[in-house]
Structure 1
Amino acid sequence: MNVQITQIIRASICCLLLILATSCSQESAEKSATASPKAAKVTATSKATTEALTNRRIPAKVVRVVDGDTMKVSYTEGGKVREETIRLLLVDTPESVDPEKPVQPFAIEASNYAKKMLTDKDVQLELDVSERDKYGRLLCYLYIGDKMFNELLLENGYARVAYVYPPNVKYVDQFRDIQKKAQQKGVNIWSVENYAQEDGFHEGAASGKPSPSATAVAKSGAAATAAPKAGVSYNSCAEARAAGVSQIRRGEPGYSAKLDGDNDGVACE
């Protein structure tokens, strides 16, 4: 009799444990089913927020054009006016202000085009995923009216597609399509064979040909005079320009940090 009772008790305990296990399993499944839509919703919301931030356009004003692909802008944030140096994404124009490089062909044209289109103009900035480069400059796509200026540079042959670094590749495919059309037309940087290449601009390809940039500088009178004499100094850029001097590079006579407002190594640009 005792053995039979013991077996009945054991059987009852096993049934009870089985019922509890089944109940817990169902509860866990219900929680998982409930949590899954929430998790999906959170993921979707996070993705939407990221897209909204990268698609948002920031109203700004161009304070100064440094060269074809670099500008200084001002904008209001939290009630305060801020100033930033911006670098246009996915494009590269020839150098006109790099203290370690000569003025490259079509650099002056690209810079003058940017100055004409953007100086003192209201613009909009669109960011991509990564906001800044190693120099701290704000990376962006710049809009003037309903036109993207990055595209205008490519369309007119003032820039090549360059510095393609994921994740900032939002418009790279359409930029390459625009560049291809400019190449086919042979406009500006594409008018000199092998000048604009994947790894940059090659001045040697333009040797023996008149430099459009040099011609443009000579016509404008900017930086076309002889370098200042040793020991000369200027109290202001206005004084330097009155003497026929501009774009004084670091290390040259007449250069001083007080005349180089953006500390890029070139004073009185």
Structure 2
Amino acid sequence: MINAKRTIMAAGLSLLMLLATACSASGGENSPVAAAGSKATASATAAGSTPSTKENGKRIAAKVVRVVDGDTMKVSFADGGKVKEETIRLLLVDTPESVDPEKPVQPFALDASNYAKTMLTGKDVQLELDVSERDKYGRLLCYLYIGDHMFNELLLENGYARVAYIYPPNVKYVDQFRAIQKAAQQKGVNIWSVENYAQEDGYHESVVKGGATSSPKSAAPTTTPKPATTSKPPTTATSKPSVVYNSCKEANEAGAYNIKQGEPGYSAKLDGDGDGVACERR
């Protein structure tokens, strides 16, 4: 009888030990390790199901509806099956003002605006965003592409804009923009044709000859300067003009543009394309 009881007790103890071992091996859902694993899995799932809404370098197809200014346009594009219209502001560039109600039209502003209208109005373009999408006015900030060319760069290359409004983190192309600007400065084209007009803090109309501020035409008159008086007038049609310019920049600063062959100030070295007109206004 005693042996039978011992056998039953031994069997019971063995069963309890087996149950305890099984529970320990499986672990509970609320144990620290299991909970940590569940959180990690949930986090990974959530991250995978919520991709970034703006891929780096992705371009948006759009159409230019209207050019407001040299660096500001209205565009339309498809968004969620609907056509949406936005005002865009080109990043890292600044053209002279032509539509600011608080400022007169600045020299070369109409040139920049007309260039943008010719290049962009009604054209299919692409927009590339940087990190911050909008400015304080709610305008979409972007780099604009027309064909294979970035229009921001074309403005700089042709001397219609300066590098400006450099606000991190929207500085993706600032170094190459500065290199393009430097080349335009060395050529002395448009805004760089008047010394100290385009500066780090903006455009200074007061340095333009005559203090003209109403338009680029007044900033760069097309009339040629009068020849200096001499004791003897020229005796032949081939006599050298009495006004000599060492460069087109020097001529532009004196207000001379489109100097025709035979007129005071014309010289072959200033007529790069040999068409008989030197220091042509571009």
TM-score (ref. length: structure 1): 0.62
- Residue identity in the other structure for 1:142: L
Q: Distance in 2 between matches of 1:69 and 1:133?
A: 14
> Matched residue pairs, number?
192
Question: Structure 1: which 5+ runs fail to align?
Answer: 1-27, 220-269
Tell me what 2:70 maps to.
68
Q: Distance in 2 between matches of 1:164 and 1:196?
A: 16
1:64-118: CA deviation from partner (whole Å, max 9, x where unpaired): 0001000000001011000000000000000000000010000000000000000
Tell me what 2:144 maps to.
142
Tell me what 2:59 maps to.
57
Q: Distance in 2 between matches of 1:60 and 1:87?
A: 14
1:195-254: CA deviation from partner (whole Å, max 9, x where unpaired): 0000000001113277762359x99xxxxxxxxxxxxxxxxxxxxxxxxxxxxxxxxxxx
Q: Distance in 1 between matches of 2:66 and 2:111?
A: 16
Q: Distance in 1 between matches of 2:47 and 2:115?
A: 44
1:174-195: CA deviation from partner (whole Å, max 9, x where unpaired): 0000000000000000000000
Q: CA RMSD in A?
A: 3.1
187, 212, 216: which is aligned to 1:213? 216
CA positional deviation for 1:146: 0.6
Q: Distance in 1 between matches of 2:198 and 2:151?
A: 19
Instruction: Indicate yes or no: 2:177 matched with 1:175.
Output: yes
Tell me what 1:187 maps to.
189
Give the SS at the match of 1:193. Answer: coil
Q: Give 1 or 2 for the bigger CA radius of gyration.
A: 2
Tell me what 1:89 maps to.
91
Kindly report which structure 2 residues correspond to 1:152-163, keeping only aligned pairs within 5 A, or say none. 152-163=154-165
The answer to which structure has the higher helix fraction is 1
Q: Distance in 2 between matches of 1:157 and 1:113?
A: 11
86, 108, 111: which is aligned to 1:109? 111
198, 201, 205: which is aligned to 1:199? 201
Give the SS at the match of 1:178. Answer: helix
Tell me what 1:119 maps to.
121
Tell me what 1:244 maps to.
none
Q: Distance in 1 between matches of 2:92 and 2:195?
A: 22
Q: Distance in 1 between matches of 2:61 and 2:115?
A: 21
Closer, same or farther: CA 144–78 of 1 in aligned 2, 3 Å: same
